[in-house]
């Protein structure tokens, strides 16, 4: 599956480089939904909620009412997860709060699983310089994605794995890393970060890894028609 991305900040569709620098603004949410109509699911990240400086709840609700979505950003507890489901999210992405300084946040993940449902939860494993990073990619943990995948399986239906080293930079991704992750779990894996060419996408699909695409679509590097033809 190919998953187009809509990132929201200050009420607008944006794309960032390395999660910090705004590179561009996209069309309106309605225009992006129309452009992505051929794809079965859209990934929506509320960057303001993720950064703890407000939210774009109205836009999230609007997008979720018009398309099948997986939504993340600021899921630090049960209330936020339930709110996203109430807004129409088909799946909820949990990132920073899934971890503590020493490992997996089992109490929170258990609560989320039991309340929202395992089938609705996707855990984000953002990796930079080989380590999982949290808090807007500003804080590195002491463990790798490969080390925690198996332990996280009881809590979720799949993983969003971002290769942060190349996120938004249009320089390609680390296909070997995604191959290692694929070998480590039988659950759904969605790849993100640096996916730039149609060859990247085809290589991921060939190993049964989904591709979440942002910058390459918004800059026109990847054609939506070419991507739709792969579905």
Q: What is the CB-side half-sphere exposure of residue 218 using CA atoms within 13 A?
A: 27
> Has 114 been annotated as catalytic?
no
**Catalytic position from the list 46, 48, 126, 200:** 126
> DSSP assignment of 122-185, as one string?
EEEEEEETTEEEETTTTEE-S--HHHHHHHHGGG-SEEEEEEGGGTTS-S---HHHHHHHHHH-
Q: Give the separation between CA 92 and CA 85, rounded to whole angstroms.
A: 7
Cα 205 from chain centroid?
Answer: 17
E strands along the chain, which residues?
2-9, 12-17, 21-25, 42-46, 69-72, 91-94, 121-128, 131-134, 139-140, 158-163, 188-192, 210-213
Q: Give the separation between CA 134 and CA 182, rounded to whole angstroms.
A: 22
Q: Are strands 2-9 and 210-213 parallel, antiparallel or unpaired?
A: parallel
> Has 7 been annotated as catalytic?
yes
**Catalytic position from the list 7, 46, 48, 200:** 7
Catalytic residues, by residue number, are 7, 126
């Amino acid at each position: 599956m190919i998953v187009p991305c809509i990132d929201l900040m200050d009420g607008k569709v944006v794309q960032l480089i390395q999660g910090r620098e705004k590179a561009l603004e996209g069309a309106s949410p309605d225009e992006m939904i129309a452009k992505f109509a051929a794809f079965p699911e859209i990934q929506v990240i509320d960057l303001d909620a993720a950064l703890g400086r407000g939210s774009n709840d109205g836009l999230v609700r609007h997008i979720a009412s018009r398309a099948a979505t997986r939504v993340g950003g600021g899921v630090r507890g049960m209330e936020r997860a339930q709110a996203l489901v109430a807004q129409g999210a088909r799946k909820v992405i949990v990132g920073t709060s899934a971890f503590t300084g020493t490992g997996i946040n089992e109490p929170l993940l258990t609560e989320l699983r039991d309340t929202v449902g395992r089938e609705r939860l996707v855990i984000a494993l953002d990796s930079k310089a080989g380590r999982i990073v949290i808090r807007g990619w500003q804080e590195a943990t002491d463990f790798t994605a490969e080390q925690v995948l198996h332990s996280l399986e009881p809590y979720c239906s799949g993983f969003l794995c971002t290769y942060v080293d190349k996120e938004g930079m249009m320089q390609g991704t680390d296909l070997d890393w995604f191959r290692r992750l694929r070998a480590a779990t039988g659950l759904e894996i969605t790849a993100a970060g640096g996916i730039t060419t149609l060859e990247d996408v085809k290589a991921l699909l060939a190993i049964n890894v989904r591709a979440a695409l942002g910058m390459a679509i918004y800059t026109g590097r990847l054609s939506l028609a070419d991507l739709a033809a792969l579905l």
